[in-house]
Amino acid sequence: MKFKVFRWKAIGPLLLVFGILCLLLWLFAEPVARDTTEEASSELLGTEVDLGKLDLLPRQASVNLRALQVADPFMLTRNLIEADEIRLKLNPAALAEKKIVIEHLSLHGMRFGTRRKTPARPPSGKGFAPQVYRAVQQWANQFNVPLLSLTPIDTIRQLVLDPTQLSTIRQAQSLLARTDSTRKALEQGFQQLDIRPTLDSAHALAQRLAATDPKKLGLDGTRQAIQSVQQTLREVEAAKKRVAALQQNTRTAVQVLGQGIKTVDQARQQDFAFAKSLLKLPTFSAPEIGNAFFGKVSIERFKQALYWAELAQKYMPPGLLPRPTPGPRRLRAAGSTIEFPKARDLPRFLLEQGQLDFSIGGTSELRGAYAATVQGLTSTPALYGHPAVITAHRRATGSAIASIDVAAVINHIGALTHDSANARLRGIQLPSFDLPGVPFRVAPGIGSSELAFNLKGTQLFARWGIRSNQVSWLADTTGRSLNDLERLVWRVMSGLNDLNVVAEVRGTVSSPKLSVSSNLDQAISQRLQAVIGEEVAKAERMVRSKVDSLVADKVEPVKRQVAALQAEANQRIEAEKQRVDQVEKELNAELKRLTGGLAPGIELPKIKL
Amino acid sequence: MLGLLKLIQSIIKTLHSAGTPGQVAAGMALGSALGLTPIMNLHNLVIFSLLVLLNVSFGGGMLGWMLFVPIGFLLDPVFDSIGLHLLQAPSLRPLWTSWTNTPILPYTNFNNTVVLGSFVGWVVLAVPIFFAARYGVARYRATLGERVRQSRFYKAVTASQVYNIYRLFRP
């Protein structure tokens, strides 16, 4: 019987199955795609993304998104962006390679900062974006923004300090332990050096040769003597190298101890600050007042910019190396999905050109001509070869909001990534905020705001400023009346109509430095200094003497021990070096004498030592 | 419960179908791919089509699928490890780069460690599965088969309407 490989009669049912699959796809593709888009973009951005409707238009290779809302992860009752309609024109050839290349994106009915009907879900879970969210929260918490203390000076009575609270003592004890271990290590090093036998035998050889006459040694005897000297010189050279190595080790150890002394001094400064904080002394330092008043509100702005920059670092990594990402969620294990970017090919995701261009007329505050563009937003910047550029601006002379200018460049083409963003908003209603630590609130009114953010590798520079000449001040006196210092500050504040605040963050992302200055802190500082400067200075002197009295007997002996160890180590090394040099000199002198004793005019071949 | 009943029905029918032990075993070897690898992938559509179009036992395929689903779950960590090893092998990088940038092929999801690892695992296991199943079916028919065929339980199962539809696809 002939065996049939194919079951031709099954082609019909198979086609029927495929037909049913296609029907199901047609029926459920849009709702499934909508849910998947919501879920994936919420996970990507770390904030709730809601989508009203998703229409697939296969003939035009387009997707229409309607009623899109992207919640602000830092304010859950507000939307970052809301758009009535977004049309994405996709590249069909790229789709065949499972790549999403958006040739053109257009938005209609876009609004920023709208209020949400229901608050968004807070970022949570183990995804990358929630991790970044938590990381930037921690980043913001690392700034030590002191509260402004306006305790009247006459309430300061006595400072009670517990020595265990002082870090200087801990640092001094730690340095003492390090000094002891360094001393032992150096002693061991000197013992292991063991150059005395070499130097003694070299010295003995030099003395023995000095007592002989080269002319009486004969040719063989002279040659043997020269060879002995050369051999000994080589041994001396080796000893010299060991001394040099020990000197290097000693120098490093001494430097480390020197750093320890500096750390102890820095700890003492911190202890002064700590002790001062216990007294709650009113400060009249302008930078401190600036930090206290506007530090927190500034950090909030920088934190948000850093969040988006960190997401860009993750989703737009430089280079073309294969990249593992978590696999899709399913009942089976997700595993890892590895992307293999190919040179001169399309990236996995690319938004070539996005455009927003519309006008709002009438008498609304929002009237004006809006324009925004997004270019080259891609998952593989090295393939696209150009930085991603995002711009947005609005012009409306005569409107309450005069202008908005936003420009951002995400350059992840090379190994050193560079993200920068500049936003300028003029003639906008600036939000009012409380001044931390004092019962005052500032309402800047209509003014301008500016944010510059620059992240090059790990180097961060960010600047945020607000300026207004319609500022109003509010004092919250419910519950208690203002004390003398608060009344003084209030008088200074309420006399000001202008507010000009500039905050800057510099340094690496891991250890940034914040500085804030404003016209307010300058004015308050001058006034406070005039009134309480002398009293505060006296209290500060008291704090210093108190801290010094507690730490001096712990720190000074340690410093003396470190200095003694440093001096002793240097002295011993120098002594060893001198001995080696002396013996080497003696041997060289004998070598010269021996070679000079040969027949005149005959030169010995040069010998490498 | 219904799933369990269907599984029993499938096992009974397949073991007693007119197909040769080789056809049943070939069906099981193909069907095991559906169980061992994550189901929602393009290669499983091809496997399913082969199961329908080739003259192998379709019931054997379904039986293989059901039997190997739990094994697939259990072996996922092994598959993940195999897939990761293969995808990270420097010598294979040009192959994966070419594969993931060729039309249609990326939809196989072979750049996922579990998908690739389980597929490779299935390719390696398919032949042993075939021979083991062929031996097992032949032994069953020679020993227990006739007694089961005479049982009321078997008669009840084969009398159901579903069985008539099944007969359409039997080899």
* Alpha-carbon distances of B94 from A341, A429, B82, B86, rounded to whole Å: 10, 57, 18, 12
Would you say residue A449 has pLDDT above 60?
Answer: yes
Residue predicted with more confidence, A153 or A395: A395
- Mind listing the pLDDT tens digit for each residue in B100-150? 999 989 999 999 999 999 999 999 999 999 999 999 988 888 888 778 777
CB contact at 8 A, A473 and A499: no
User: Of A3, A5, A335, which is closest to B112 when you measure between CB atoms?
Assistant: A335
Would you say residue B44 has pLDDT above 60?
Answer: yes
- Mind listing the pLDDT tens digit for each residue in A298-309? 888 888 888 888
What pLDDT score was predicted for residue A601? 43
The tokens for A280 are 């709650």
Q: How many CB atoms lie within 10 A of CB A114?
A: 13
* Cα A598 to Cα A591: distance, rounded to the nearest angstrom: 12
- Residue range B23-41: mean pLDDT, rounded: 93
Would you say residue A142 has pLDDT above 90?
Answer: no
What pLDDT score was predicted for residue A254? 84
Would you say residue A534 has pLDDT above 70?
Answer: yes
Q: Which of A242-246, A335-339, A434-438 has the lowest mean pLDDT?
A: A434-438
CB contact at 8 A, B141 and B134: no
Q: Which secondary-structure segment (H or E) carries A84?
A: strand A75-90
Contact at CB, B54 and A5, closer than 8 angstroms: yes
Q: Give the DSSP per-residue string, B20-89.
A: -HHHHHHHHHHHHHHHHS-SSSHHHHHHHHHHHHBSS-HHHHHHHHHHHHHHHHHHHHHHHHHHHHHHH-
From A220, A289, A245, A189, select the one nearest A526 (Cα to Cα): A289
Contact at CB, A7 and B52, closer than 8 angstroms: yes
- Residue range B67-88: mean pLDDT, rounded: 95
Q: Which residue of chain A is at minimal alpha-carbon distance from B70? A: A332
User: Of A6, A98, A345, which is closest to B107 when you measure between CB atoms?
Assistant: A98
Which distant-in-sequence residues (6+ apart) come within 8 Å of A46 by Cβ? A73, A123, A127, A128, A129, A130, A132, A133, A307, A311
Amino acid, single-letter form, for residue A391? T
Q: Which residue of chain A is at minimal alpha-carbon distance from B50? A: A6
- Mind listing the pLDDT tens digit for each residue in A384-412? 889 999 998 876 665 555 678 889 999 99
Residue predicted with more confidence, B9 or B26: B26
User: Of B80, B107, B109, which is closest to A333 when you measure between CB atoms?
Assistant: B80
Q: Locate tokens 């998908």: which residue?
A: B115
CB contact at 8 A, A170 and A555: no
Contact at CB, A332 and B114, closer than 8 angstroms: yes
Q: Which of A257-271, A282-296, A439-453 has the lowest mean pLDDT?
A: A282-296
Contact at CB, A330 and B76, closer than 8 angstroms: no
**Phi, psi (rounded to 5 degrees) for A4:** -90, 130
**Which DSSP symbol is given to A115?**
B
Q: Which residues of A touch B (CB under 8 A)?
A: 3-7, 10-11, 13-14, 17, 93, 96-99, 322, 327-328, 330-342, 345
* Alpha-carbon distances of A512 from A130, A139, A144, B15, B147, rounded to whole Å: 22, 9, 11, 72, 82
Mean of per-residue pLDDT scores for chain A: 83
Q: Give the DSSP per-residue string, B106-168.
A: GGG-TTBHHHHHHHHHHHHHHHHHHHHHHHHHHHHIIIIIHHHHHSHHHHHHHTSHHHHHHHH
* Alpha-carbon distances of A98 from A339, A357, B108, rounded to whole Å: 11, 30, 10
* Cα A337 to Cα B145: distance, rounded to the nearest angstrom: 46
- Residue range A167-185: mean pLDDT, rounded: 87
Instruction: Give how far A100 is from chain B: nearest CA, Å.
Output: 13
Residue predicted with more confidence, A398 or A86: A86
What pLDDT score was predicted for residue B8? 67
- Residue range A484-491: mean pLDDT, rounded: 81
* Cα A134 to Cα A298: distance, rounded to the nearest angstrom: 18
Q: Which secondary-structure segment (H or E) carries A374?
A: strand A368-378
b/e burial code for range A514-550 (CB count within 10 A of at least 16 → b): bebbbebbebbbebbbebbeeebeebeebbeebbeeb
The tokens for A34 are 């909508």
Q: What percent of chain A has pLDDT over 90?
A: 12
Q: Give the DSSP per-residue string, A6-72.
A: B-GGGHHHHHHHHHHHHHHHHHHHHHHHHHHHHHHHHHHHTS-EEEEEEEEEGGGTEEEEEEEEEEE
Q: How many CB atoms lie within 10 A of CB A602?
A: 7
* Cα A44 to Cα A38: distance, rounded to the nearest angstrom: 10
- Tell how strand A433-435 and strand A440-443 pair up: antiparallel
Instruction: Give how far B65 is from chain A: nearest CA, Å.
Output: 15
**Which DSSP symbol is given to A348?**
S
- The residues facing A371 across adjacent strands are A357, A393
Instruction: Give how far A417 is from chain B: nearest CA, Å.
Output: 25
- Residue range A213-237: mean pLDDT, rounded: 83
Going by pLDDT thresholds of 50, 70 and 90, the confidence category of residue A540 is confident
Q: Which of A251-260, B94-103, B119-128 has the lowest mean pLDDT?
A: A251-260
What pLDDT score was predicted for residue A600? 43
Contact at CB, B83 and A335, closer than 8 angstroms: yes
b/e burial code for range A553-581 (CB count within 10 A of at least 16 → b): ebbeebbebbeebbeebeebbeebeebbe
Grouping H, G, I as helix, E, B as strand and the rest as coil, residue A360 is: strand
What pLDDT score was predicted for residue A528? 78
Contact at CB, A336 and B112, closer than 8 angstroms: yes
* Cα A281 to Cα A147: distance, rounded to the nearest angstrom: 11
What pLDDT score was predicted for residue A401? 59
CB contact at 8 A, A584 and A233: yes
Would you say residue A231 has pLDDT above 80?
Answer: yes
Q: Which of A318-322, A497-501, A593-597, B94-98 has the lowest mean pLDDT?
A: A593-597
Going by pLDDT thresholds of 50, 70 and 90, the confidence category of residue A135 is confident
What pLDDT score was predicted for residue A555? 83
Contact at CB, A7 and B40, closer than 8 angstroms: no
Mutate to test the interface with A, among B30, B36, B97, B98 (most CBs of A within 10 A): B97
The tokens for A478 are 């419910």
What pLDDT score was predicted for residue A602? 46
Q: Give the predicted TM-score (pTM) of the model.
A: 0.65
Provide the ipTM: 0.81
Q: Which of A219-223, B68-72, B100-104 has the lowest mean pLDDT?
A: A219-223
Q: Which residue of chain A is at minimal alpha-carbon distance from B92? A: A340
- Residue range A437-462: mean pLDDT, rounded: 89
**Phi, psi (rounded to 5 degrees) for A473:** -120, 140
* Cα B118 to Cα A335: distance, rounded to the nearest angstrom: 11
Going by pLDDT thresholds of 50, 70 and 90, the confidence category of residue A279 is confident
Residue predicted with more confidence, A215 or A347: A347
Contact at CB, B100 and A340, closer than 8 angstroms: yes
Going by pLDDT thresholds of 50, 70 and 90, the confidence category of residue A198 is confident
CB contact at 8 A, B59 and B17: yes
What pLDDT score was predicted for residue A205? 86
Mutate to test the interface with A, among B111, B116, B166, B167 (most CBs of A within 10 A): B111
Going by pLDDT thresholds of 50, 70 and 90, the confidence category of residue A365 is low
- The residues facing A465 across adjacent strands are A450, A502
- Residue range B160-168: mean pLDDT, rounded: 57
What pLDDT score was predicted for residue A599? 42
What pLDDT score was predicted for residue B166? 57
Q: Give the DSSP per-residue string, A244-287.
A: HHHHHHHHHHHHHHHHHHHHHHHHHHHHHHHHHHHHTPPP--HH
User: Of A7, A335, A341, which is closest to B114 when you measure between CB atoms?
Assistant: A335
Mean of per-residue pLDDT scores for chain B: 85
- Maximum alpha-carbon separation in chain A: 120
Instruction: Give how far A583 is from chain B: nearest CA, Å.
Output: 59
Contact at CB, A327 and B113, closer than 8 angstroms: yes
- The residues facing A435 across adjacent strands are A440
